[in-house]
Chain A
Protein backbone atom coordinates (compact mmCIF):
# COMPACT_ATOMS: atom_id res chain seq x y z
CA UNK A 1 0.00 0.00 0.00
CA UNK A 2 2.84 2.35 0.83
CA UNK A 3 4.13 1.86 -2.72
CA UNK A 4 0.81 2.95 -4.21
CA UNK A 5 0.88 5.91 -1.88
CA UNK A 6 4.29 6.92 -3.16
CA UNK A 7 3.12 6.61 -6.75
CA UNK A 8 0.09 8.84 -6.12
CA UNK A 9 2.42 11.28 -4.41
CA UNK A 10 4.72 11.41 -7.41
CA UNK A 11 1.78 12.01 -9.76
CA UNK A 12 0.31 14.76 -7.58
CA UNK A 13 3.81 16.12 -6.95
CA UNK A 14 4.47 16.45 -10.69
CA UNK A 15 1.48 18.72 -11.09
CA UNK A 16 2.33 20.75 -8.00
CA UNK A 17 5.88 21.08 -9.26
CA UNK A 18 4.67 22.30 -12.68
CA UNK A 19 2.38 24.90 -11.11
CA UNK A 20 5.17 25.88 -8.74
CA UNK A 21 7.59 26.24 -11.66
CA UNK A 22 5.09 28.39 -13.56
CA UNK A 23 4.87 30.72 -10.57
CA UNK A 24 8.58 30.62 -9.96
CA UNK A 25 9.50 31.68 -13.52
CA UNK A 26 7.65 34.99 -13.25
CA UNK A 27 8.56 35.42 -9.61
CA UNK A 28 12.24 35.05 -10.42
CA UNK A 29 11.90 37.57 -13.22
CA UNK A 30 9.91 40.21 -11.38
CA UNK A 31 9.19 39.23 -7.77
CA UNK A 32 5.52 39.17 -8.78
CA UNK A 33 3.56 36.22 -7.40
CA UNK A 34 1.08 35.61 -10.19
CA UNK A 35 -2.16 34.47 -8.61
CA UNK A 36 -3.85 34.40 -12.03
CA UNK A 37 -1.58 31.49 -12.98
CA UNK A 38 -4.23 28.89 -12.19
CA UNK A 39 -7.03 30.57 -14.12
CA UNK A 40 -4.69 31.20 -17.05
CA UNK A 41 -4.05 27.46 -17.12
CA UNK A 42 -7.77 26.78 -16.79
CA UNK A 43 -8.75 28.99 -19.74
CA UNK A 44 -5.93 27.46 -21.78
CA UNK A 45 -7.26 24.01 -20.96
CA UNK A 46 -10.66 25.10 -22.27
CA UNK A 47 -8.91 26.03 -25.50
CA UNK A 48 -7.69 22.44 -25.75
CA UNK A 49 -11.21 21.26 -25.00
CA UNK A 50 -12.75 23.47 -27.68
CA UNK A 51 -10.09 22.49 -30.22
CA UNK A 52 -10.66 18.80 -29.52
CA UNK A 53 -14.46 18.72 -29.23
CA UNK A 54 -15.74 21.64 -31.33
CA UNK A 55 -13.11 21.70 -34.06
CA UNK A 56 -12.43 17.97 -34.01
CA UNK A 57 -8.69 18.47 -34.02
CA UNK A 58 -6.38 15.69 -32.99
CA UNK A 59 -4.43 16.11 -29.77
CA UNK A 60 -1.12 17.48 -31.01
CA UNK A 61 -2.49 20.34 -33.12
CA UNK A 62 -4.86 21.17 -30.25
CA UNK A 63 -1.89 21.25 -27.89
CA UNK A 64 -0.01 23.49 -30.28
CA UNK A 65 -2.85 26.02 -30.39
CA UNK A 66 -3.28 25.82 -26.63
CA UNK A 67 0.38 26.61 -26.02
CA UNK A 68 0.29 29.44 -28.52
CA UNK A 69 -2.80 30.84 -26.82
CA UNK A 70 -1.25 30.42 -23.38
CA UNK A 71 1.90 32.24 -24.44
CA UNK A 72 -0.07 35.15 -25.84
CA UNK A 73 -2.25 35.25 -22.73
CA UNK A 74 0.85 35.56 -20.56
CA UNK A 75 2.30 38.29 -22.76
CA UNK A 76 -1.08 40.04 -22.68
CA UNK A 77 -1.15 40.05 -18.86
CA UNK A 78 2.29 41.65 -18.73
CA UNK A 79 1.71 44.09 -21.56
CA UNK A 80 -1.83 45.17 -20.70
CA UNK A 81 -1.73 45.21 -16.90
CA UNK A 82 1.64 44.66 -15.22
CA UNK A 83 3.50 47.15 -17.43
CA UNK A 84 0.84 49.84 -16.93
CA UNK A 85 1.15 49.92 -13.14
CA UNK A 86 2.42 53.28 -11.94
CA UNK A 87 5.00 53.17 -9.13
CA UNK A 88 3.91 49.65 -8.28
CA UNK A 89 4.46 47.94 -4.94
CA UNK A 90 4.32 44.16 -4.44
CA UNK A 91 0.79 44.65 -3.15
CA UNK A 92 -0.36 46.36 -6.35
CA UNK A 93 0.96 43.44 -8.38
CA UNK A 94 -0.86 40.95 -6.16
CA UNK A 95 -4.08 42.91 -6.63
CA UNK A 96 -3.52 43.11 -10.40
CA UNK A 97 -3.00 39.38 -10.72
CA UNK A 98 -5.98 38.59 -8.50
CA UNK A 99 -8.05 40.97 -10.64
CA UNK A 100 -6.91 39.20 -13.79
CA UNK A 101 -7.72 35.87 -12.16
CA UNK A 102 -11.29 37.00 -11.43
CA UNK A 103 -11.67 38.31 -14.98
CA UNK A 104 -10.63 34.97 -16.43
CA UNK A 105 -12.83 33.07 -13.97
CA UNK A 106 -15.81 35.20 -14.90
CA UNK A 107 -15.04 34.84 -18.58
CA UNK A 108 -14.83 31.05 -18.38
CA UNK A 109 -18.09 30.87 -16.43
CA UNK A 110 -19.83 33.06 -18.99
CA UNK A 111 -18.39 31.34 -22.05
CA UNK A 112 -18.42 27.71 -21.01
CA UNK A 113 -20.65 27.60 -17.93
CA UNK A 114 -19.99 25.94 -14.63
CA UNK A 115 -20.71 22.44 -15.95
CA UNK A 116 -18.09 19.86 -15.35
CA UNK A 117 -16.80 18.61 -18.66
CA UNK A 118 -14.67 15.72 -19.67
CA UNK A 119 -11.38 16.39 -21.39
CA UNK A 120 -10.39 13.39 -23.46
CA UNK A 121 -6.66 13.03 -23.80
CA UNK A 122 -4.88 10.33 -25.80
CA UNK A 123 -3.89 8.75 -22.50
CA UNK A 124 -6.65 7.47 -20.30
CA UNK A 125 -7.07 7.26 -16.58
CA UNK A 126 -8.74 3.89 -16.68
CA UNK A 127 -6.21 2.09 -18.84
CA UNK A 128 -3.71 0.31 -16.63
CA UNK A 129 -0.12 0.17 -17.76
CA UNK A 130 1.47 -1.55 -14.82
CA UNK A 131 -0.30 -3.86 -12.40
CA UNK A 132 1.87 -5.53 -9.79
CA UNK A 133 0.22 -6.84 -6.65
CA UNK A 134 -1.91 -4.05 -5.28
CA UNK A 135 0.03 -1.36 -7.17
CA UNK A 136 -1.67 0.14 -10.21
CA UNK A 137 -0.23 2.71 -12.55
CA UNK A 138 -2.58 4.11 -15.17
CA UNK A 139 -1.67 5.45 -18.56
CA UNK A 140 -2.56 8.96 -17.39
CA UNK A 141 -0.36 8.64 -14.28
CA UNK A 142 2.61 7.65 -16.38
CA UNK A 143 2.00 10.34 -18.98
CA UNK A 144 1.61 13.02 -16.29
CA UNK A 145 4.92 12.19 -14.69
CA UNK A 146 6.70 11.79 -18.04
CA UNK A 147 5.40 15.10 -19.41
CA UNK A 148 6.17 16.90 -16.15
CA UNK A 149 9.74 15.62 -16.15
CA UNK A 150 10.16 16.60 -19.81
CA UNK A 151 8.87 20.07 -19.02
CA UNK A 152 11.24 20.42 -16.08
CA UNK A 153 14.18 19.44 -18.27
CA UNK A 154 13.03 21.86 -20.95
CA UNK A 155 12.69 24.72 -18.49
CA UNK A 156 16.10 23.98 -17.06
CA UNK A 157 17.70 24.08 -20.51
CA UNK A 158 15.79 27.17 -21.52
CA UNK A 159 16.82 29.14 -18.46
CA UNK A 160 20.39 27.92 -18.20
CA UNK A 161 21.59 27.20 -21.70
CA UNK A 162 20.03 29.74 -24.00
CA UNK A 163 20.50 33.36 -24.84
CA UNK A 164 16.96 34.03 -23.66
CA UNK A 165 17.69 32.37 -20.32
CA UNK A 166 20.83 34.44 -19.92
CA UNK A 167 18.91 37.62 -20.69
CA UNK A 168 16.25 36.63 -18.14
CA UNK A 169 18.87 35.98 -15.51
CA UNK A 170 20.56 39.29 -16.28
CA UNK A 171 17.30 41.25 -16.06
CA UNK A 172 16.56 39.68 -12.67
CA UNK A 173 19.94 40.41 -11.21
CA UNK A 174 20.39 43.96 -12.38
CA UNK A 175 17.78 45.60 -14.55
CA UNK A 176 19.78 48.73 -15.26
CA UNK A 177 22.89 46.80 -16.24
CA UNK A 178 20.84 44.50 -18.45
CA UNK A 179 19.37 47.50 -20.28
CA UNK A 180 22.67 49.19 -20.98
CA UNK A 181 23.91 45.91 -22.41
CA UNK A 182 21.17 45.97 -24.99
CA UNK A 183 18.56 43.80 -23.30
CA UNK A 184 15.00 45.04 -23.54
CA UNK A 185 13.99 44.10 -20.01
CA UNK A 186 10.30 44.75 -20.64
CA UNK A 187 10.23 42.37 -23.56
CA UNK A 188 12.07 39.78 -21.47
CA UNK A 189 9.48 40.12 -18.71
CA UNK A 190 6.63 39.69 -21.20
CA UNK A 191 8.29 36.55 -22.58
CA UNK A 192 8.73 35.23 -19.02
CA UNK A 193 5.01 35.62 -18.42
CA UNK A 194 4.32 33.88 -21.73
CA UNK A 195 6.53 30.93 -20.88
CA UNK A 196 5.16 30.57 -17.38
CA UNK A 197 1.64 30.67 -18.79
CA UNK A 198 2.55 27.80 -21.14
CA UNK A 199 3.80 25.74 -18.22
CA UNK A 200 0.56 26.47 -16.36
CA UNK A 201 -1.44 25.39 -19.42
CA UNK A 202 0.33 22.02 -19.48
CA UNK A 203 -0.45 21.61 -15.79
CA UNK A 204 -4.10 22.44 -16.53
CA UNK A 205 -4.30 19.86 -19.31
CA UNK A 206 -2.89 17.22 -16.98
CA UNK A 207 -5.18 18.18 -14.10
CA UNK A 208 -8.42 18.30 -16.11
CA UNK A 209 -8.80 14.53 -16.72
CA UNK A 210 -8.32 13.84 -13.02
CA UNK A 211 -10.79 16.32 -11.57
CA UNK A 212 -12.94 17.21 -14.62
CA UNK A 213 -12.81 20.46 -16.52
CA UNK A 214 -14.62 23.36 -14.89
CA UNK A 215 -13.80 27.01 -14.13
CA UNK A 216 -12.64 26.37 -10.58
CA UNK A 217 -10.53 23.32 -11.35
CA UNK A 218 -7.19 25.12 -10.88
CA UNK A 219 -7.81 26.60 -7.45
CA UNK A 220 -6.45 23.65 -5.61
CA UNK A 221 -3.45 23.00 -7.93
CA UNK A 222 -2.52 26.70 -7.84
CA UNK A 223 -2.47 26.86 -4.05
CA UNK A 224 -0.60 23.57 -3.86
CA UNK A 225 1.86 24.77 -6.47
CA UNK A 226 2.32 27.98 -4.53
CA UNK A 227 2.90 25.97 -1.35
CA UNK A 228 5.41 23.79 -3.20
CA UNK A 229 7.23 26.87 -4.45
CA UNK A 230 7.31 28.43 -0.98
CA UNK A 231 8.49 25.14 0.51
CA UNK A 232 11.33 24.66 -1.96
CA UNK A 233 12.19 28.34 -2.39
CA UNK A 234 10.43 30.51 -4.95
CA UNK A 235 13.65 31.43 -6.67
CA UNK A 236 15.21 27.99 -6.96
CA UNK A 237 13.89 25.90 -9.85
CA UNK A 238 15.32 22.71 -8.39
CA UNK A 239 13.90 23.67 -5.00
CA UNK A 240 10.43 24.17 -6.45
CA UNK A 241 10.47 20.72 -8.08
CA UNK A 242 11.67 19.04 -4.88
CA UNK A 243 9.09 21.09 -2.96
CA UNK A 244 6.36 19.82 -5.29
CA UNK A 245 7.24 16.17 -4.79
CA UNK A 246 7.71 16.65 -1.04
CA UNK A 247 4.31 18.28 -0.76
CA UNK A 248 2.71 15.43 -2.72
CA UNK A 249 4.29 12.91 -0.39
CA UNK A 250 3.56 14.70 2.88
CA UNK A 251 -0.02 15.30 1.83
CA UNK A 252 -0.72 11.72 0.80
CA UNK A 253 0.94 10.20 3.85
CA UNK A 254 -0.95 12.59 6.11
CA UNK A 255 -4.19 11.80 4.29
CA UNK A 256 -3.71 8.06 4.62
CA UNK A 257 -2.39 7.74 8.15
CA UNK A 258 -3.86 10.68 9.97
CA UNK A 259 -6.90 12.29 8.44
CA UNK A 260 -8.26 12.37 4.92
CA UNK A 261 -10.52 15.35 5.75
CA UNK A 262 -7.60 17.53 6.68
CA UNK A 263 -5.40 16.46 3.76
CA UNK A 264 -5.84 19.77 1.97
CA UNK A 265 -4.93 21.75 5.05
CA UNK A 266 -1.41 20.34 5.03
CA UNK A 267 -0.30 22.63 2.21
CA UNK A 268 -1.36 25.74 4.09
CA UNK A 269 0.25 24.61 7.30
CA UNK A 270 3.44 24.15 5.29
CA UNK A 271 3.21 27.68 3.85
CA UNK A 272 2.80 29.16 7.32
CA UNK A 273 5.54 27.06 8.93
CA UNK A 274 8.04 27.75 6.13
CA UNK A 275 7.35 31.45 6.07
CA UNK A 276 7.86 31.48 9.81
CA UNK A 277 11.09 29.53 10.02
CA UNK A 278 12.76 29.74 6.62
CA UNK A 279 11.11 32.37 4.44
CA UNK A 280 13.49 31.84 1.53
CA UNK A 281 12.41 28.18 1.34
CA UNK A 282 14.38 25.00 1.90
CA UNK A 283 16.58 25.45 -1.15
CA UNK A 284 16.30 29.16 -1.75
CA UNK A 285 19.39 31.26 -1.68
CA UNK A 286 18.96 34.41 0.26
CA UNK A 287 20.60 37.41 -1.33
CA UNK A 288 20.83 40.59 0.60
CA UNK A 289 20.37 43.41 -1.84
CA UNK A 290 22.95 46.12 -1.36
CA UNK A 291 21.68 49.64 -1.36
Chain B
Protein backbone atom coordinates (compact mmCIF):
# COMPACT_ATOMS: atom_id res chain seq x y z
CA UNK B 1 0.00 0.00 0.00
CA UNK B 2 1.17 3.49 -0.75
CA UNK B 3 2.34 5.63 2.15
CA UNK B 4 1.04 8.74 0.52
CA UNK B 5 -1.55 9.17 -2.18
CA UNK B 6 -3.05 12.10 -4.05
CA UNK B 7 -6.13 11.57 -6.20
CA UNK B 8 -7.64 13.99 -8.70
CA UNK B 9 -6.35 17.05 -6.88
CA UNK B 10 -7.54 20.39 -8.25
CA UNK B 11 -6.72 23.82 -6.91
CA UNK B 12 -8.00 27.01 -8.53
CA UNK B 13 -7.16 30.63 -7.86
CA UNK B 14 -10.09 32.51 -9.34
CA UNK B 15 -9.99 31.58 -13.03
CA UNK B 16 -6.48 30.16 -12.89
CA UNK B 17 -6.18 26.42 -12.48
CA UNK B 18 -2.92 25.93 -10.59
CA UNK B 19 -3.27 22.18 -10.08
CA UNK B 20 -5.42 20.28 -12.54
CA UNK B 21 -6.76 16.84 -11.67
CA UNK B 22 -3.40 15.56 -10.45
CA UNK B 23 -2.89 12.05 -9.09
CA UNK B 24 0.20 10.23 -7.83
CA UNK B 25 1.30 8.00 -5.00
CA UNK B 26 4.51 7.47 -3.06
CA UNK B 27 5.77 4.25 -1.50
CA UNK B 28 7.47 4.13 1.85
CA UNK B 29 11.21 4.77 1.60
CA UNK B 30 11.07 6.33 -1.85
CA UNK B 31 12.63 9.51 -3.09
CA UNK B 32 9.90 10.88 -5.31
CA UNK B 33 10.39 14.08 -7.30
CA UNK B 34 8.01 16.45 -8.97
CA UNK B 35 9.54 18.45 -11.79
CA UNK B 36 8.13 21.14 -13.96
CA UNK B 37 8.92 24.62 -15.26
CA UNK B 38 8.38 27.65 -13.03
CA UNK B 39 4.70 28.23 -12.40
CA UNK B 40 3.77 24.62 -13.11
CA UNK B 41 2.01 24.36 -9.74
CA UNK B 42 4.64 22.41 -7.83
CA UNK B 43 4.66 24.57 -4.71
CA UNK B 44 0.87 24.73 -4.82
CA UNK B 45 0.78 20.95 -4.46
CA UNK B 46 2.94 21.24 -1.33
CA UNK B 47 0.77 23.98 0.11
CA UNK B 48 -2.29 21.78 -0.43
CA UNK B 49 -0.58 18.84 1.28
CA UNK B 50 0.32 20.66 4.45
CA UNK B 51 -2.86 22.61 4.81
CA UNK B 52 -1.79 26.10 3.80
CA UNK B 53 -4.19 25.92 0.84
CA UNK B 54 -7.52 24.19 0.62
CA UNK B 55 -7.96 22.39 -2.70
CA UNK B 56 -11.34 22.48 -4.46
CA UNK B 57 -11.39 18.84 -5.44
CA UNK B 58 -9.61 15.58 -4.87
CA UNK B 59 -8.17 13.75 -1.94
CA UNK B 60 -4.81 13.61 -0.19
CA UNK B 61 -4.16 10.56 1.95
CA UNK B 62 -1.26 9.86 4.27
CA UNK B 63 -1.17 6.42 5.92
CA UNK B 64 -4.82 6.06 5.02
CA UNK B 65 -5.84 9.31 6.69
CA UNK B 66 -7.29 12.26 4.85
CA UNK B 67 -5.24 15.46 4.99
CA UNK B 68 -7.67 17.88 3.38
CA UNK B 69 -9.25 20.20 5.90
CA UNK B 70 -6.46 19.69 8.42
CA UNK B 71 -4.58 22.73 9.71
CA UNK B 72 -0.82 22.93 9.03
CA UNK B 73 -0.03 22.15 12.67
CA UNK B 74 -2.25 19.06 12.52
CA UNK B 75 -0.54 17.86 9.35
CA UNK B 76 2.80 18.30 11.10
CA UNK B 77 1.51 16.18 13.98
CA UNK B 78 0.71 13.36 11.57
CA UNK B 79 4.38 13.18 10.63
CA UNK B 80 4.85 15.39 7.59
CA UNK B 81 7.58 18.03 7.68
CA UNK B 82 8.53 20.48 4.97
CA UNK B 83 10.97 23.12 3.83
CA UNK B 84 10.22 26.16 1.69
CA UNK B 85 11.70 27.40 -1.53
CA UNK B 86 12.38 30.85 -0.07
CA UNK B 87 13.15 29.70 3.48
CA UNK B 88 10.76 30.21 6.36
CA UNK B 89 13.09 30.36 9.33
CA UNK B 90 12.90 32.04 12.70
CA UNK B 91 15.47 34.58 11.61
CA UNK B 92 15.98 36.19 15.02
CA UNK B 93 16.78 32.95 16.76
CA UNK B 94 19.91 30.84 16.81
CA UNK B 95 20.34 27.65 14.82
CA UNK B 96 19.84 25.52 17.89
CA UNK B 97 16.63 27.35 18.85
CA UNK B 98 15.29 26.86 15.34
CA UNK B 99 15.96 23.15 15.62
CA UNK B 100 14.47 22.98 19.10
CA UNK B 101 11.30 24.50 17.68
CA UNK B 102 11.15 21.54 15.36
CA UNK B 103 10.98 19.44 18.53
CA UNK B 104 7.96 21.40 19.68
CA UNK B 105 5.57 18.62 18.77
CA UNK B 106 7.39 16.11 20.89
CA UNK B 107 7.61 18.31 23.95
CA UNK B 108 5.13 17.87 26.73
CA UNK B 109 4.35 20.91 28.80
CA UNK B 110 4.29 20.13 32.48
CA UNK B 111 4.01 22.26 35.56
CA UNK B 112 7.74 22.50 36.06
CA UNK B 113 8.17 23.93 32.61
CA UNK B 114 5.22 26.24 32.89
CA UNK B 115 6.70 27.67 36.05
CA UNK B 116 10.06 27.85 34.36
CA UNK B 117 11.64 25.52 36.85
CA UNK B 118 14.07 22.91 35.69
CA UNK B 119 15.20 20.82 38.60
CA UNK B 120 18.07 18.62 37.68
CA UNK B 121 16.45 15.28 38.04
CA UNK B 122 12.87 16.25 37.31
CA UNK B 123 10.95 14.77 34.42
CA UNK B 124 11.09 18.10 32.61
CA UNK B 125 14.86 18.17 32.84
CA UNK B 126 15.12 14.62 31.51
CA UNK B 127 12.82 15.47 28.64
CA UNK B 128 14.80 18.59 27.89
CA UNK B 129 17.96 16.48 27.75
CA UNK B 130 16.33 14.07 25.28
CA UNK B 131 15.34 16.93 22.99
CA UNK B 132 18.73 18.59 23.22
CA UNK B 133 20.40 15.28 22.40
CA UNK B 134 18.17 14.77 19.38
CA UNK B 135 18.95 18.28 18.16
CA UNK B 136 22.68 17.72 18.66
CA UNK B 137 22.38 14.56 16.58
CA UNK B 138 20.89 16.57 13.75
CA UNK B 139 23.60 19.21 14.08
CA UNK B 140 26.17 16.42 13.79
CA UNK B 141 24.33 14.81 10.93
CA UNK B 142 24.17 18.00 8.85
CA UNK B 143 27.56 19.26 10.05
CA UNK B 144 26.12 22.47 11.44
CA UNK B 145 28.50 22.75 14.43
CA UNK B 146 29.93 26.09 13.33
CA UNK B 147 26.46 27.60 12.96
CA UNK B 148 25.13 26.15 16.21
CA UNK B 149 24.85 29.31 18.32
CA UNK B 150 24.65 31.88 15.57
CA UNK B 151 21.60 33.85 14.64
CA UNK B 152 20.14 32.34 11.53
CA UNK B 153 19.89 35.70 9.79
CA UNK B 154 23.69 36.00 9.98
CA UNK B 155 24.35 32.68 8.26
CA UNK B 156 25.15 32.31 4.57
CA UNK B 157 22.23 31.18 2.43
CA UNK B 158 23.50 27.66 1.97
CA UNK B 159 23.73 27.15 5.71
CA UNK B 160 20.26 28.62 6.22
CA UNK B 161 18.91 25.99 3.85
CA UNK B 162 20.55 23.31 5.96
CA UNK B 163 19.09 24.77 9.14
CA UNK B 164 15.64 24.62 7.62
CA UNK B 165 16.27 21.04 6.56
CA UNK B 166 17.47 20.26 10.08
CA UNK B 167 14.38 21.82 11.63
CA UNK B 168 12.20 19.64 9.43
CA UNK B 169 14.18 16.57 10.51
CA UNK B 170 13.82 17.55 14.16
CA UNK B 171 10.13 16.79 13.79
CA UNK B 172 11.13 13.17 13.19
CA UNK B 173 8.79 13.00 10.22
CA UNK B 174 7.88 9.95 8.20
CA UNK B 175 7.52 12.04 5.07
CA UNK B 176 9.55 15.15 4.31
CA UNK B 177 8.57 17.65 1.63
CA UNK B 178 11.51 19.53 0.15
CA UNK B 179 10.65 22.59 -1.93
CA UNK B 180 13.55 23.28 -4.30
CA UNK B 181 16.27 22.30 -1.84
CA UNK B 182 19.03 23.30 -4.24
CA UNK B 183 17.64 26.66 -5.35
CA UNK B 184 20.12 29.46 -4.71
CA UNK B 185 22.97 27.07 -3.90
CA UNK B 186 26.31 27.01 -5.67
CA UNK B 187 27.62 23.92 -7.43
CA UNK B 188 29.48 22.57 -4.41
CA UNK B 189 26.59 23.16 -2.01
CA UNK B 190 24.23 21.56 -4.49
CA UNK B 191 26.31 18.39 -4.61
CA UNK B 192 26.33 18.31 -0.80
CA UNK B 193 22.59 18.71 -0.73
CA UNK B 194 22.24 15.62 -2.90
CA UNK B 195 24.19 13.63 -0.31
CA UNK B 196 22.07 14.95 2.56
CA UNK B 197 18.90 13.98 0.78
CA UNK B 198 20.18 10.48 0.12
CA UNK B 199 21.33 10.16 3.73
CA UNK B 200 17.95 11.29 4.98
CA UNK B 201 16.36 8.39 3.19
CA UNK B 202 19.12 5.78 3.63
CA UNK B 203 20.14 6.51 7.23
CA UNK B 204 17.03 8.02 8.77
CA UNK B 205 14.51 6.08 6.71
CA UNK B 206 12.45 9.13 5.89
CA UNK B 207 10.40 9.10 2.70
CA UNK B 208 11.21 12.13 0.55
CA UNK B 209 8.94 14.12 -1.73
CA UNK B 210 10.97 16.64 -3.63
CA UNK B 211 10.19 19.55 -5.93
CA UNK B 212 12.94 20.72 -8.19
CA UNK B 213 13.43 22.26 -11.57
CA UNK B 214 17.11 21.42 -11.70
CA UNK B 215 17.07 18.24 -13.81
CA UNK B 216 20.60 17.13 -12.97
CA UNK B 217 19.88 17.02 -9.27
CA UNK B 218 16.64 15.13 -9.69
CA UNK B 219 18.11 12.61 -12.10
CA UNK B 220 20.76 11.42 -9.68
CA UNK B 221 18.67 10.77 -6.61
CA UNK B 222 15.06 10.11 -7.54
CA UNK B 223 13.51 6.67 -7.58
CA UNK B 224 10.58 8.00 -9.54
CA UNK B 225 9.75 11.32 -11.11
CA UNK B 226 6.46 13.04 -11.89
CA UNK B 227 6.60 15.77 -14.53
CA UNK B 228 3.90 18.42 -14.52
CA UNK B 229 3.17 21.45 -16.63
CA UNK B 230 0.43 24.00 -16.03
CA UNK B 231 -0.80 21.88 -13.14
CA UNK B 232 -1.33 18.80 -15.30
CA UNK B 233 0.52 15.51 -15.24
CA UNK B 234 2.77 15.06 -18.27
CA UNK B 235 4.26 11.70 -17.37
CA UNK B 236 5.49 9.64 -14.46
CA UNK B 237 8.22 7.01 -14.18
CA UNK B 238 11.92 6.36 -13.63
CA UNK B 239 14.34 9.26 -14.21
CA UNK B 240 15.45 7.88 -17.57
CA UNK B 241 11.89 7.47 -18.80
CA UNK B 242 10.72 10.89 -17.70
CA UNK B 243 13.70 12.95 -18.74
CA UNK B 244 13.66 11.52 -22.26
CA UNK B 245 9.93 11.93 -22.62
CA UNK B 246 9.02 14.10 -25.56
CA UNK B 247 6.41 16.18 -23.71
CA UNK B 248 8.84 16.89 -20.88
CA UNK B 249 11.53 18.12 -23.22
CA UNK B 250 8.95 20.28 -24.95
CA UNK B 251 7.72 21.75 -21.69
CA UNK B 252 11.25 22.64 -20.69
CA UNK B 253 12.70 23.83 -23.96
CA UNK B 254 9.59 25.07 -25.63
CA UNK B 255 8.35 23.82 -28.96
CA UNK B 256 10.65 23.99 -31.92
CA UNK B 257 8.95 26.11 -34.49
Contact = CB atoms under 8 A, between A and B. Distances in A.
Interface stretch (A35-43, A171-179, A243-251): A171-179
B105 A173 contact: no
B52 A170 contact: no
A163 B113 contact: yes
B228 interface: no
Interface string B95-112: 001001110110101000
Interface residues of B, number: 33
A176 B73 contact: no
B93 A169 contact: yes
A176 B76 CA distance: 12
Given A157-B116, A287-B92, A180 B81 contact: yes
A173 B73 contact: no
A158 B91 contact: no
A131 interface: no
B89 A174 contact: yes
Given A176-B52, A180-B50, A180-B82, A170 B116 contact: no
Given A163-B107, A163-B109, A177-B90, A183 B116 contact: no
Contacts of B82: 180
Contacts of B42: none
Contact of B104 (A157, A183, A287): A183
Contacts, number: 79
B89 A167 contact: no
Interface residues of A, number: 23
A166 interface: yes
A178 B90 CA distance: 8
A164 interface: yes
A237 to B, nearest CB: 14
B69 interface: no
Contacts of A54: none
A162 B128 CA distance: 11
B72 interface: yes
Contacts of B92: 173, 287
B224 interface: no
Contacts of B81: 180
B167 interface: yes
B100 A176 contact: no
A173 B104 contact: no
A163 B101 CA distance: 9
Contacts of B107: 163
A184 interface: yes
Given A176-B52, A180-B88, A182-B104, A162 B116 contact: yes
A182 B76 contact: yes
Contact of B102 (A158, A162, A181): A181
Contacts of A173: 90-93
Contacts of A287: 92
Q: Which of the listed residues A166, A167, A176, A181 has the most CB atoms from chain B within 10 Å of its own CB?
A: A181
Contacts of A174: 88-91
B116 to A, nearest CB: 4
B126 interface: no
Interface in B100-153: 100-102, 104-105, 107, 109, 113-116, 118
Nearest to A167: B104
Nearest to A159: B116
B76 A180 contact: yes
B77 interface: yes
Interface of A: 157-158, 161-164, 166-167, 169-170, 173-174, 176-185, 287
Of all A-B residue pairs in the complex, the 9 with the closest CB atoms, nearest first, are: A157-B116, A179-B72, A182-B105, A182-B76, A177-B88, A161-B116, A173-B90, A184-B73, A182-B73
Given A170-B101, A174-B89, A174-B90, 11 more contacts: A157-B115, A158-B114, A176-B84, A178-B101, A179-B76, A180-B73, A180-B81, A181-B105, A182-B73, A182-B105, A184-B73
8 contacts: A157-B115, A158-B114, A158-B116, A162-B109, A177-B90, A179-B72, A182-B104, A287-B92
Interface of B: 50-52, 71-73, 75-77, 81-82, 84, 88-93, 97, 100-102, 104-105, 107, 109, 113-116, 118, 167, 171
